[in-house]
Amino acid sequence: SRLLPDATTKAICGFCSTGCGLKLHLKDGEAINLTPDPDYPVNLGTACPKGWEALAVLDAPDRATMPLLHGKPVEWDVALKYFCEKMKGILDTHGREAAAFLSTGQIMFEEMAFLGSLAKFGMGMLHGDGNTRQCMATAVTAYKESFGFDAPPFTYADFEESDVLVFIGANPCIAHPIMWQRVLSNERNPEIIVVDPRKTETAMAATQHYAIKPKSDLTLLYGIAHLIIREGGVNQNFINEHTNNFEEFAKFVADYTPDRVSAETGISVEQLNKFAQTIIKGTPRVSFWWTMGVNQGHQATRTAQAIINLALMTGNIGKPGTGANSITGQCNAMGSRLFSNTTSLLGGHDFRNLAHREKVAAATGIPVHRIPDQPSLAYDQILDAADSGKVKAIWFVATNPSHSWIDQSRFNRILDKLDFIVVQDMYCSTETAKRAHLVLPAAGWGEKEGCFINSERRIGYSPKVRRAPGQALADFHIFRLIAHYWGCDDLFRGWTSPEAVFRVLQRCTENQPCDITGINGHEMLRKSGGVQWPLNREQAAKFDVSTSKQRRLFADGKFYTLDKKAKFIFDPPTEIPDQARDEYPLVLITGRGTSAQWHTETRTGKSAVLAKMIPEELMLDLNVNDARHLKISDGMSVRVISPRAELTAKARLTTCVNPGEVFLPMHDNRVNQLTYASFDPYSRQPSYKHSAVRVEKA
Ligand code: SF4
C-alpha cells in the first residue's frame, strides 16, 4: 500500500511546447507516479517518453539543495546578501548595462514576468534575454512583421483537418511526437511533404520528401511561389481583401525560375512542379509547419516569411486545416514571448512606446519612470558586450548555455571574463553551474505551481505535487526574496503568489491581440483543459469551460497591422556563411537526437529509462559514399574537425544524409564546440544548421 495512490491531480508536462496533460497520482499529497491525461484536448491520453519520466528526473543526486558560494554551501541569507551586494556594486559603479539576466522557456510565465520585472523595474538592469533566442526569435520577428503581432494562427486540430501538410525544417516524429500522433490520426488521407536536407524519421513517413541542399530553403520557397503564380494557383480574392503588396512580391519571384531553383536547391524541375501542384491542385486545405530547421538559419526571418507568403497567396489561413504555423520548442516558449519582459514589454508591448509603458505601469502598479524606454540587447549582443568588458555580471536562470550556445568555446571564454556569474537552476552539475560564483538552488517542474503556454496558444496550469529537495525554492520565491533583500519589495507588494501575478499580467494584455482578461484565474484553467489566447471578457461570456473547442486566429481575415492586412515580406537570399571548402569539405547539421532527449540533458540525462533509448556513444551520421571515399566503415571511431575544435564520434553510415553533409545530435556537450556562430540579422537567432567540418579516421 506504500505505493498505492490515494488521490489524483492534473498537470501540464514541463518539457516541450506540445503541452500534454498529465494525471499525477498522489500519496499523502505527493506525486508518486503519472499517466497521460485521457481528457486533455492536446494529447488525448498519450505522452512521449520524456513526459512519462517527468517525475523520475526530480530525484537525481545532483540536485542543487543549498546555495553554493564559490562552490561551498551557504545559507540563503548569506547567498542573497552576497547576490545583492555584488549586483548593486556592479550596477552602481558601471551603470545599468553592466549586469544582465539570461533566462529560459522552461519556467512558469508568472515566474518569467517576475524575473523580467524585478531585474528591469526593481534592480534597474537594462538587458535580459532568454534561451528562446535559440529557438523562437525568428518566428516572433517574422509574425510581427507579416501579421502585425507575434501570433501563431493554428490549433492542433489543423493537423487532423489538412489535406496537405508541409513540414519545413521540422522533424515532429521525434521532436514533437504527440503532435505527430495528431498527424497520424488525420483521416483525410493527406499528402505529407517534408523539406529537409536529411531523410529524417518524419521524411521517411512522408509522401514527398525534398532533400534540399542545406540552407537553400529560401530559394526553394521563392521557386514554389513562382510556380504557383505561373500555374494560376493564387487565391486572388484573399490577396485583394486581406493582404497588400502582392504585386511587388510576384515581380520579385519572377526571377526564381524552375531551372534556377533546381540548380540552387538540388531539387529537379519535375519535383518542383509536383510540390507546387500538390499545394494548388483541387484547392486543398494546406497547412505549412516549421521549426528549428528554418528558425536557426543565417536568413531565418525571411525564410519563415517565405512560408507565410505561400499561405497568404493561396488563402490558406484562418480556416480549418491551414496556416503558416511555427511550432515552438519549450514548454513555455510562448509564455516567454508574451511575458519575459526582454525584447517586448509585458503582454507583447513595445518598450519604445510611451503609451505602452504608461499602460503597463497602470496595470502593474510600477511607476512609469522605472520602465526602460528601450528593449534589451539580444543574447549574442549581450555576450559581445561581456566580451568587450561592458557587461560584467550575468544571472542565468534555468538554462545551460555553456553547453548549448553556438561556438561554445568562445561563449565559455567570455564567461571567464565576467566578475560575477549567478546560476539559478535545479541542478548544480550543469556546465554553466560549474562556472558560477553563486548557485541558487531552484525547485523544478512539479515542485512549484504556475502556467505554461503551448504551441497552439493554450494556457495550462501546473500544480505543486512534490516538495523540492533540501533548501531549493521555487523560482517565484527566489525572486520575492531577492526583491526583499534588494529593498524593492514595495514595487511588488501585490505579487504575492503566481495567481496574483497572473492577474497582473491579465491586465497587461487588455485590448492586445493576446488579451486574456476573460480567463477567470488559475481555477478556470484547472477546470477547462487549458484556454487558448485570446480570451477577452466578451469572448469569455460565450466560452464553455467544459468543451475543448479549438480556436484559430484570423478566421475573419483581419490581421493585427494598422490596415488589418498581412504583408508579403521578402529579400534575395544572401551568401551562406562558413561554406564547405577544401580543408573543411563537409557541412555539419545539428539537431534533435531522439524523442528521449531534451536540450542539454540536464533532466533527461538523469532517467535510467530514457538512457536505454539513447545510443551510448555520440554517433556521426555520414553518407556511405563519403565514407567509402574516406575509407571509413560503420561503427569506426572518427574525428570531426572544424576550425574551432574537434571531437571523436562513432560513424554511422547512412543514406539519410546526402553526400557532403554530416549530422550530429545537439545533446552531446562537445557538439557546439564545432558550430560556427552566424546570426539572422533580424531575429538575432543563431544558425546551428550549417558549419564546415572535415571527418577523418580517429
Ligand atoms: Fe511532454 Fe512534449 Fe512529450 Fe508531450 S510531447 S509528453 S509535452 S515532452
- Residues 525-552 as b/e (b if ≥16 CB within 10 A, e otherwise) read bbebbbbbbbbbeebbeebeeeebebbb
At 542, the pLDDT band (50, 70, 90 cuts) reads: confident
CATH number at residue 419: 3.40.50.740
Given a cut of 80, whether residue 538 has pLDDT beyond it is: yes
Instruction: Verify that 311 and 227 share a domain, yes or no.
Output: yes
List pLDDT tens digits, range 180-219: 999 999 999 999 999 999 999 999 999 999 999 999 999 9
Mean pLDDT of 492-519: 97
Cα gap 345→357, rounded to integer Å: 8
Is the same domain home to 13 and 116?
A: no
Q: What is the pLDDT of residues 37-46, one digit of tens each?
A: 999 999 989 9
- 23 and 89 assigned to the same domain: no
Q: Residue 274 to residues 191, 193, 267, 660: CA-CA distances in angstroms?
A: 12, 11, 11, 26
CATH (domain of 141): 3.40.228.10
The three cell numbers locating residue 321 = 486545416
Q: Is the bond preceding residue 152 a cis peptide, omega within 30 degrees? A: no
How many angstroms from the chain centroid is the CA of residue 463? 23
Evaluate whether residue 678 is within a structural domain: yes
Ligand 1 mutation target, pool 48, 592, 607, most atoms within 8 A of CB: 48
Mean pLDDT of 383-412: 97
Phi, psi of 605 (to 5 degrees): -65, -10
Residue 589 three-state SS: strand
pLDDT at site 274: 98
Taking residues 275-298, what's their average pLDDT? Answer: 97
Residue nearest atom 6 in ligand 1 by C-alpha distance: 51
The number of distinct structural domains making up the chain is 4
Q: Any bridge partners for residue 459, and if so which? A: 453, 531
Q: Does residue 2 have a pLDDT over 70? A: no
Tens-digit pLDDT profile for residues 421-461: 999 999 999 999 999 999 999 999 999 999 999 999 999 99
Domain boundary among 326, 346, 378: 326
Asked if the structure places residue 563 within a domain, the reply is no
525 and 672 share one domain: no
68-91 residue pLDDT tens = 999 999 999 999 999 999 999 999
pLDDT digits (tens, 9 = 90+) for 237-255: 999 999 999 999 999 999 9
pLDDT over 70 at 658, yes or no:
yes
**Which residue's C-alpha cell is 559514399?**
625
- Determine what percent of the chain is predicted with pLDDT higher than 70: 99
CA of 16 to the centre of ligand 1 (A): 5
Q: What is the ipTM of this complex?
A: 1.00
Q: Give the mean pLDDT of 644-662.
A: 97
Question: How far is Cα 222 from Cα 307, in angstroms, rounded to an integer?
Answer: 9
**516 and 483 belong to one structural domain:** yes
Instruction: Round to whole Å and give the CA distance between 217 and 252.
Output: 16
Read off the C-alpha cell for 25: 497520482
At 529, is the pLDDT very low, low, confident or very high (cuts 50, 70, 90)?
A: confident
* Structure confidence at residue 548 as a pLDDT band (50, 70, 90): low
483 and 339 in a common domain: yes
Report the nearest atom of ligand 1 relative to the CA of 18: 7
**Residue 230 shares a structural domain with residue 343:** no
The pLDDT confidence band at residue 391, using thresholds 50, 70 and 90, is very high
DSSP 492-526: GTT--SHHHHHHHHHHHHTTSTT--TTS-HHHHHH
Domain-ending residue, one of 326, 351, 383: 326
Residue 99 Cα to chain centre, angstroms: 24
The domain boundary residue, chosen from 326, 356, 388: 326
For residue 364, give the C-alpha cell: 502593474
Q: Does any domain span residue 578?
A: no
Q: Compute, in angstroms, the gap from residue 288 CA to the centroid of ligand 1.
A: 21
For residue 641, give every residue at least 6 positions away whose Cβ sits within 8 Å of its Cβ, in sequence order, or none: 584, 693, 694, 695, 696
561 within a domain of the structure (yes/no): no
User: Could you tell me the distance, in angstroms and rounded to a whole number, from the CA of residue 13 to the centre of ligand 1?
Assistant: 6
Average pLDDT, the chain: 96
Residues 265, 610: Cα–Cα separation, whole Å: 37
- Asked if residue 78 and residue 52 are part of one domain, the reply reads no
Q: Are 683 and 141 in contact (CB under 8 A)?
A: yes
Which residue segment(s) compose the domain that 679 sits in? Answer: 586-697
Total H helices, total E strands in the chain: 26, 26
Task: For the full predicted model, state whether its pTM sits above 0.90.
Answer: yes
Our measurement of the distance from residue 361's CA atom to the centroid of its chain's CA atoms, rounded to an integer in Å, reads 28
**pLDDT tens digits for range 453-462:** 999 999 999 9
Residue 502 falls inside a structural domain: yes
25 and 146 in a single domain? The answer is no
Residues 406 and 516 grouped into a single domain: yes
392 and 506 both lie in a single domain: yes
Tell me, yes or no, whether 548 lies in a domain.
Answer: no
**Ligand 1 atom nearest to 49, measured from its CA:** 3
| Domain presence at residue 554 | no
Within 8 A by CB and 6+ apart from 477, the residues are: none
104 CA distance to ligand 1 centroid (A)? 17
| Residue 224 domain flag | yes
Q: Pairing between strand 691-697 and 586-591?
A: antiparallel
CATH number of the domain to which 675 belongs: 2.40.40.20
Relative to the CA of 598, which ligand 1 atom is closest?
8
Q: Are residues 124 and 141 part of one domain?
A: no
- Judged on CB neighbours under 10 Å (0-12, 13-18, 19+), 603 is buried
Atom 2 of ligand 1: nearest residue by CA position: 16
pLDDT tens digits along 551-606: 899 999 999 999 999 999 999 999 999 999 999 999 999 999 999 999 999 999 99
Mean pLDDT of 491-497: 96
CA distance 20 to 278: 32
- Ligand 1 centroid to Cα of residue 542, in Å, is 30
First CA to last CA across the chain, in angstroms?
A: 54
Residue to probe by mutation, ligand 1, list 10, 43, 604, most atoms within 8 Å of CB? 43
Residues at CB less than 6 angstroms from ligand 1: 13, 15-16, 18-20, 43, 47-48, 50-51, 177-178
- Distance CA(237)–CA(221), nearest Å, equals 22
* Residue whose C-alpha cell reads 528554418 in the numeric block: 294
Residues 344, 347, 351, 354, Cα dihedral to 10° = 160
286's grid cell: 494546406
pLDDT band, residue 547 (cuts 50/70/90): low
